[in-house]
Structure 1
């Protein structure tokens, strides 16, 4: 990619960002757009209707200051630990690329420009030069200047590992602290079980009662049967609520982590939240009606893969929170596709290029990543602020639908989509910072925008739909380790092509040490994200035992998972000219 092409792309996307920021700063002030730009505040009754004034039509940056002000503790109280951990990903990336940017721009970039492996740089006609002259491709083969790049790889690796250890330890402690400070939730005392074996002559409810009173007498409290409404829907889900003695430890946790029966295909257990419990009912029906018939129609490997990608959501036996956390691994398939494209491009280029010139292809891919960060990164995060699709939908639906504050739908952040995007840009920066240092400033701008914009969205737009207490952080950690190892592999190949065999040899211990560091972190911190320790649970149970409000909580616990279809209908008390009754009510 030549410099002029990058400047053109930069100008276009910078203009789009300015346009979206300007439109947002104006449209967010209009009361008719509150449902789009501050639905959370509207639902909580915190928004205030403003009288029209000239300032409402002028773009102002006041929202940036308000997004910057809340502390992490305030963010934790309002948006939950998942939001805090999400912001920690952005903060981690900013710290990484601040250091990598200093090394890349002020050390590596001047070294690359002083090389003469490629055509000399014509500063009088800079826009016609290729970006490769600013990359490692321009350094002469066998030059001692390559040891500067070698040192940069080591320094950045050590720095990132230190940051990862600190973040893993910090988030682990936050997770435990958040658990101790949180109020008891029904899903902490409840398990969801399906595929219940039923004996002849005994009702399902009696079978459940007999089994759990026999094998969990000290922790079993009651059970609730979730019914499927409709003639063709069968009874498939059952909920069990343990008793209030060491509820989280010798009750639901033990029942969840142990095999109930010798036949592992029965008594299938889950641990969902209240909302996810009934969502699992719907997924089970789709699994039976869609997955099983469809699996018989896949005749080759290609069709099987397509079928899998379309229906993987309905295959999972996990609740939505676990599925979306696992969705953060979606970065791996995308990166695999990129690597396949790289491999194909290298194979095609071998017919026309010498092996010594293959490092320019790597630099060319780095140029592609720069363009991708500018076109996809900057514009996507600006679109997140402007909320284009909800805004258009609001314009279309306004003439047809009239809603009140109680009916405002507050969205939640799709972590399984946004986290892979952050990690993908982080991967680009880590793997290519020593090849093409110019990528780092563009990444810094992206993460700075993301920091302000997502804080604003957590304050005004998004409300947590579920809380995993940062359970997806190990996935982030592992993908960062993957990025480091990939950088080491690229460095090994580059130094080999650059005819510096000693540097290639000394790079080999680096991925080994990185993987050993990852293994240590997994042993030290990963169990905290898998399940809370018995020490933590017992301490929490003792605190709850001394809480006077627990008796009221246990009273509500028995009805917490009642089937919504069997609950009495709640009518709204808000009437207007279109919803008021035709005849006035009369008292008898």
Structure 2
């Protein structure tokens, strides 16, 4: 591939971005698109001012200025700590790759370009290999420039990583201390409760914790079977009991007659109203509660202090680690209720099954990756399809096929990865929605790095040299040869998967299409389903980290990729801040737990870059550069271990000192009794409060049936974490 093919791809993507960005600035001003581009503000019932004059049909950069001026404090209030961490990833990337771009432009790029004694063509006609380390001849004394650039980039990256890790750790601690009392600090999740034939799970649990945690145990809330199948079974039993009620015989007959002979669908609504109208009657209420009280071997256990809950969550309850399994409780809005009833002994089998399924999915994905790499090899493509020889010999067509189509096709195939990985993470059995999304984030990241980088590099090497797998020991050497050769493909991939994806993210094509369909074709005016998008961390974090990985790997080998990456990170900084401000709703927050993933991936990228550079220096026969690279690898690993010991424990557990201080503060202020009263309503599994009974447990207060009939929710006062309204529950 020559530079003209890369510029063709860049031109197409630049034109696409300009058109879509301009179109977005117009569409966001239209009143009919408020639910698409201001979903968060609509959901929070905030007033939105729209200019109804002719200016709403003219593109404007007002959204860019607003996104640029948004501070971190505003971002925390809007999107939580996870949103700040996500933006910090982009800021870190901009800083480190700015340093890399300057160093490589001064040291590396001139050495690569003049590495061979050759007659250069005009710049647009130059092959991209001329700008990579492949153009440097063996034994060149100028390879010290690459080694020096690698040292500077590594030192800059480690320094920025350290300060970012320290800053985000402090933000997490402040987030825990400065927030109002949270129910998760006083609660733990207990699973694998042993079955006793003489009594129910609730009584067994109460006996155990009343005896072994007598000073700290407060109460508990059982988990009941839920999910689609269980709901269908409950509703079927519910309707069956209602049909047997003498008070509804005539109503049912008239309703079925109306349905059969008059074709009136509204009679089902009448029947539904009659069914729920008797909800407060004692006989029906008992039947309904019995249908819903199907206890699982899991429960939320509440403690009098935060320190008591922390101690109970971290220690083994019995000598058998497969019984009475305790974990810190997630926040109420973060609980993934349908997975709490999964038998604990079944989880290991699910994880093994998902591991096998993930490996199978990776193997299946080799087919499109191999096809994409075939498009980059124009000569082999002509041999496989001789009838395309005439078309492929045209300059524009060859530039389009080699410079644009491969990355676009790969991006289209990769759109299927995040939904599949989210499904895999769900089957694994996480207890929280944030945990499910974090698990899917790791899976997508591993998939991207393996399939986009390693498989493309190895497949490209196979297409060039069929004896690649002749010796496994030569794998580092082969990678050192293949990575610079495939760097040109990664440049086009950044353009297609980076710039164009940001424009599509800003446009929100699918919600826009659904909005147009519902408003102008179906003529629907109900917007209750709009504005419910949460930020797809499992998709966007892996994409950014993949670009970070590609940037570090190619920085000293093929530095032409750095300007394209810098443009991407800067655009992403503006686009994603705008989306946090206007589009996405924050329903749960992991407290910045994505940053350790970022740190580990960055360190892995640095070490892998150093290993590849070591292999390249060995191929180029530069003993001096190789000798200085080995200590750099050791120092990077030591830095990583120090950060793991210094900062990582804060993201896994809360400190006893901090929780005890918070307990004493609440005790002195007299807030403990109010906190205890709100615990049960916080972890109510079902929406209607009357559906939160506790069978076989005497620790719950009896509630007046008349109050249960109203379905009123606990009042939220002083920013406390009482049960939220049904519209805010996931």
Q: 1:334 is matched with which residue?
A: 448
How far, CA to CA, are the matches of 1:283 and 1:202 in structure 2? 19
For residue 18 of structure 2, give the secondary structure of its aligned residue in structure 1. helix
Q: Quick one: distance in 2 between partners of 1:223 and 1:414?
A: 33
Q: 2:217 matched to which residue of 1?
A: 220
TM-score, length-scaled by structure 2 = 0.71
2:337 to 258, 268, 279: 279
Does 1:366 pair with 2:426? no
CA deviation after TM superposition for structure 1 residue 360, in Å = 6.4
- Equivalent in the alignment of 2:187: 190
Count of equivalent residues? 560
Q: Is the aligned partner of 1:161 residue 2:158? A: yes
Q: 1:61–1:571: structure 2 CA closer, same or farther, 3 Å change rule?
A: farther
Is 2:573 the partner of 1:451? yes
Aligned partner of residue 477 in structure 1, secondary structure: helix
Deviation at 1:288, TM superposition (A): 7.7
Deviations 1:489-510 (A, max 9, x none): 1101111111212211221111
1:422 equivalent in alignment to 2:544: yes
In structure 2, distance between residues paired with 1:341 and 1:408: 40
Task: Report Cα offsets for 1:501-521 as digits up to 9, x if no partner.
Answer: 221122111111111111111
Deviates more, 1:211-220 or 1:321-330: 321-330
Shift of 1:333: 3.2
> What SS does the aligned partner of 1:47 have?
coil
Given the superposition, is the C-alpha separation of residues 86 and 304 from structure 1 closer, same or farther in structure 2, using an over 3 Å criterion?
closer
| 2:142 maps to which of 145, 148, 158 | 145
SS across alignment from 1:223: strand
- 1:579 — aligned with what? none
- Any idea what the Cα deviations from partners look like across 1:145-164, whole Å, max 9, x if unmatched? 11111110011111111111
- How far did residue 300 of structure 1 move? 13
Quote the residue 1:88 is aligned against: 88
Instruction: Please identify, of 267-276 and 204-213, the stretch whose mean Cα deviation from structure 2 is larger.
Output: 267-276
Among 224, 232, 236, the residue aligned to 2:296: 236
Bigger Cα Rg: 2
Matched, 1:121 2:120: yes
Q: Is the 8 A contact 1:142 1:500 kept in 2?
A: yes
Contact 2:36/2:530 (<8 A) preserved: no
TM-score (norm 1): 0.88
Deviations 1:132-186 (A, max 9, x none): 1112222222111111111100111111111111111111111111111011122
**Is residue 90–residue 451 contact of structure 1 (8 Å, CA) maintained in 2?**
yes
CA distance in structure 2 between the aligned counterparts of 1:69 and 1:299, rounded to whole angstroms: 45
Contact kept, 8 Å, 1:20 with 1:386, in 2: the verdict is yes
Query: How many angstroms apart in 2 are the aligned matches of 1:545 and 1:478?
Result: 40
- After TM superposition, the structure 1 = structure 2 runs for residues 187-336 of structure 1, keeping only pairs within 5 Å, are 187-228=184-225, 230=231, 231=233, 234-236=294-296, 238-244=298-304, 247-249=305-307, 251-270=308-327, 271-281=329-339, 284=342, 302=360, 311-330=424-443, 331-336=445-450
* Pairing 1:333-352 to 2, within 5 Å after superposition: 333-337=447-451, 338-350=453-465
Q: Which runs of 5+ in 1 are unaligned?
A: 573-588
Q: Structure 1: how far apart are the matches of 2:168 and 2:209?
A: 36
State the distance in 1 between where 2:606 and 2:361 align.
Answer: 34
Q: Does 1:131 align with 2:131?
A: no
CA contact (8 A) 1:321 1:468 kept: yes
Deviation, 1:384, is 1.1
51-60 or 196-205, which deviates more: 196-205
Q: Deviations over 1:282-307 (max 9, x none)?
A: 77399989x87x969x999859988x
Q: Deviations over 1:214-270 (max 9, x none)?
A: 1111221111223335548842154334233xx221x22111111222222222334
Q: CA deviation at 1:51?
A: 5.7
- Give the 3 Å change call, closer, same or farther, for CA 44–264 of structure 1 in structure 2: same
Q: 2:642 aligns with which of 512, 520, 544?
A: 520
Q: Could you tell which deviates more after superposition, 203-212 or 447-456?
A: 203-212
Please point out which of 391, 397, 402 is paired with 2:525.
402
Q: Which runs of 5+ in 2 are unaligned?
A: 235-291, 365-419, 469-473, 691-708, 713-730
1:436 and 2:551 correspond: no
Cα distance between partner residues in 2 of 1:570 and 1:76: 36
Correspondence for 2:626 among 487, 493, 504 = 504
Per-residue CA deviations over 1:525-569 (Å, capped at 9, x if unaligned) read 111111011111112222222345443232111222223155358
Could you tell me how far apart the structure 1 residues matched to 2:669 and 2:570 are?
43
Distance 1:305 1:439 in 2: 28
Aligned to 1:576: none
Q: 1:283 to 1:100 in 2, by over 3 A?
A: farther
Q: Tell me, what secondary structure is at the counterpart of 2:681? A: coil
* More displaced 10-residue stretch of structure 1: 9-18 or 204-213: 204-213
Do the aligned partners of residues 219 and 280 (structure 1) sit closer, same or farther apart at CA in structure 2, a change above 3 Å counting? farther
Q: Which residue of 2 aligns with 1:5?
A: 5
Q: Distance in 2 between matches of 1:566 and 1:43?
A: 22
* CA separation of 1:274 and 1:475: change in aligned 2, threshold 3 A: same
Change over 3 Å in CA distance of 1:272–1:75 after alignment to 2 = same
411-420 vs 426-435, greater mean Cα deviation: 411-420
User: Deviation digits for residues 380-421 of structure 1, max 9, x if unmatched?
Assistant: 1111111111111222223354235x6543321111221111
C-alpha distance 509-515 of structure 1, shift in aligned 2 (>3 A): same
